[in-house]
Chain A
């Protein structure tokens, strides 16, 4: 079964750090772009970051540039999001998702269940 499972969320104070993980199974992880998308409470979806199959290219939404770092370990079938200097506005459910190549559709076809990050004092 193709599956993504996030972990690492929790309550953190403003200015703090958190590292999210996403464990992939059931597919060839190293063949896919991977992404992080977040959803603030009661709000819509916001793309946060993504990373190329080999980790050579990374992109970030402007609001997290310089604070968040996306990475992956293809040997461990895992995706990560290191979040530093957290702000209240980073409070959200964070989803990892798979981004197939254009010839397979190029939309985000598999999503994890999400992990909640709450930034509050």
Chain B
């Protein structure tokens, strides 16, 4: 099973600032890595797939990078609606499909 580890657990950022979230895989997942955003009481929403491709309707301030075992989600200028929990997800080696434990982006 591939273990996905996200850091930090919580990120405190001021609106308008840049946020950088990390995700590490216990073995290579190539570029088969997705990022999701989840707000309280809501379902997850797909942001990025293929490590760097934005899903339909996702603003350009969200960008993903990396391959192999190290990945990054960057939010270039945080808006109020971006404060949420973010999960990475590998779909390279399955079953099982595995998620990271999440990074909470909170208002500083």
Chain B interfacial positions (CB closer than 8 Å to A): 32, 34, 36, 38, 42-46, 49-50, 53, 55, 87, 89, 91, 94-102
Contact = CB atoms under 8 A, between A and B. Distances in A.
Nearest to A35: B97
A95 B68 CA distance: 28
Contacts of A111: 43-46
Given A44-B101, A59-B94, A105 B53 contact: yes
A45 B89 CA distance: 9
Interface in A30-81: 35, 37, 44-47, 50, 59-62
Closest 8 CB pairs of A and B: A107-B34, A107-B49, A111-B43, A47-B97, A59-B95, A105-B49, A45-B99, A44-B101
Given A59-B94, A61-B96, A108-B89, A113 B43 contact: yes
Interface string A103-121: 0011111111110000000
A106 B95 contact: no
- Size class of A's contact patch? 20 to 34
B87 A45 contact: yes
B94 A44 contact: no
Given A106-B91, A107-B89, A108-B89, A47 B46 contact: no
B100 A44 contact: yes
Nearest to B56: A109
Contacts of B49: 105-107, 109
30 contacts: A35-B97, A44-B87, A45-B44, A45-B89, A45-B102, A47-B95, A47-B96, A47-B98, A47-B99, A50-B95, A50-B97, A59-B96, A60-B95, A61-B96, A62-B96, A95-B43, A105-B55, A106-B32, A106-B91, A107-B34, A107-B46, A107-B49, A107-B91, A108-B34, A108-B36, A108-B44, A108-B89, A111-B43, A113-B42, A114-B43
Contacts of B34: 107-108
Nearest to B45: A111
B99 A44 contact: yes
A97 B101 CA distance: 19
Given A105-B55, A111-B44, 6 more contacts: A45-B102, A46-B99, A61-B96, A108-B34, A111-B45, A114-B43
